[in-house]
């Protein structure tokens, strides 16, 4: 994929993920040959779009506050969208015994929500399932000077858990490559994590 693919999200004027984050998310899904994805907090659909492009399976996405663009849902038959809370979709995944290969969190600024969701999911995840979360930085970030709190509980849990292994973490540091340094951004990431689950079963 060329640079323009990650700079532009054509289904909406919005899209909270930075271009390099979109590039990494797309490539992680491709690299690990991901089939089924659970996305919590799809927002305007940029992350959903790139994961659906890269996946050879289905993206189960939810967001109770913002509906995905209708054209996106029409164009991608492998997106199953729920205008619901994470609790509803997680219960559906568990009850229907849908095997998830990748979990992506980008929900609201409610620290308890993310940690509660992952603790509930852990009992049903298979060995090797991947996990990512956007806004992984907990300090003042380079991009916009703000501080996100959504991962303030789940991040220390992941970092200290024997069940999870860190694979890669993006921070606000710029990348020394002309391809990765995109125009009109002050940082390459507001924090994006990649972890691998190691079941204790």
Q: Sign of the CA dihedral 178, 179, 183, 185?
A: negative
Q: What confidence score (pLDDT) does residue 179 get? A: 47
Residues of the chain scoring pLDDT < 50:
176-177, 179, 183-184
pTM check: above 0.75: yes
**DSSP state for residue 42 in the 8-state scheme:** -
Q: What confidence score (pLDDT) does residue 184 get? A: 46
* Among 175, 172, 171, CA closest to 193: 171
Q: What confidence score (pLDDT) does residue 175 get? A: 56
Rounded CA separation 121/167 (Å) = 19
Element (H, E) at 40: strand 37-40
Q: What confidence score (pLDDT) does residue 141 get? A: 79
* Among 39, 38, 48, CA closest to 16: 48
Q: What confidence score (pLDDT) does residue 57 get? A: 96
Strands 130-133 and 192-197: antiparallel
Domain residue ranges of the chain, discontinuous segments joined by +: 3-197
Read off φ and ψ for residue 34, nearest 5 degrees.
-75, 140
Q: What confidence score (pLDDT) does residue 39 get? A: 98
Rounded CA separation 137/131 (Å) = 16
Size of the chain, expressed as the number of residues it contains:
201
Q: What confidence score (pLDDT) does residue 94 get? A: 97
**DSSP state for residue 185 in the 8-state scheme:** -
Rounded CA separation 182/165 (Å) = 30
Which CATH fold topology does 3-197 show? Rossmann fold (3.40.50)
Q: Where are the alpha helices (DSSP H) in the chain?
A: 3-7, 19-31, 46-54, 70-75, 86-95, 111-122, 154-160
């Amino acid at each position: 994929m060329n640079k323009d693919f990650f700079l532009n999200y054509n289904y909406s004027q919005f899209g909270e993920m930075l271009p390099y984050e979109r590039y990494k998310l797309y490539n992680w899904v491709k690299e690990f040959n991901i089939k089924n994805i659970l996305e919590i907090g799809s927002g305007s659909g940029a992350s959903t779009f790139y994961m659906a492009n890269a996946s050879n399976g289905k993206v189960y996405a939810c967001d109770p506050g913002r509906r995905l663009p209708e054209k996106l849902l029409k164009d991608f038959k492998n997106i199953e969208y729920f205008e619901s809370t994470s609790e509803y979709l997680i219960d559906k995944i568990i009850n229907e015994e849908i095997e998830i290969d990748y979990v992506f969190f980008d929900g609201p600024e409610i620290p308890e929500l993310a940690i509660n969701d992952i603790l509930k999911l852990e009992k049903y995840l298979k060995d090797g399932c991947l996990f990512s979360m956007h806004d992984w930085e907990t300090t003042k970030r380079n991009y916009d000077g703000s501080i996100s709190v959504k991962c303030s509980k789940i991040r220390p849990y992941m970092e200290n858990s024997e069940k999870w292994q860190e694979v890669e973490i993006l921070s606000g540091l710029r990348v020394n490559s002309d391809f990765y340094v995109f125009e009109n951004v002050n940082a390459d990431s507001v924090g994006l994590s990649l972890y691998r689950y190691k079941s204790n079963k």
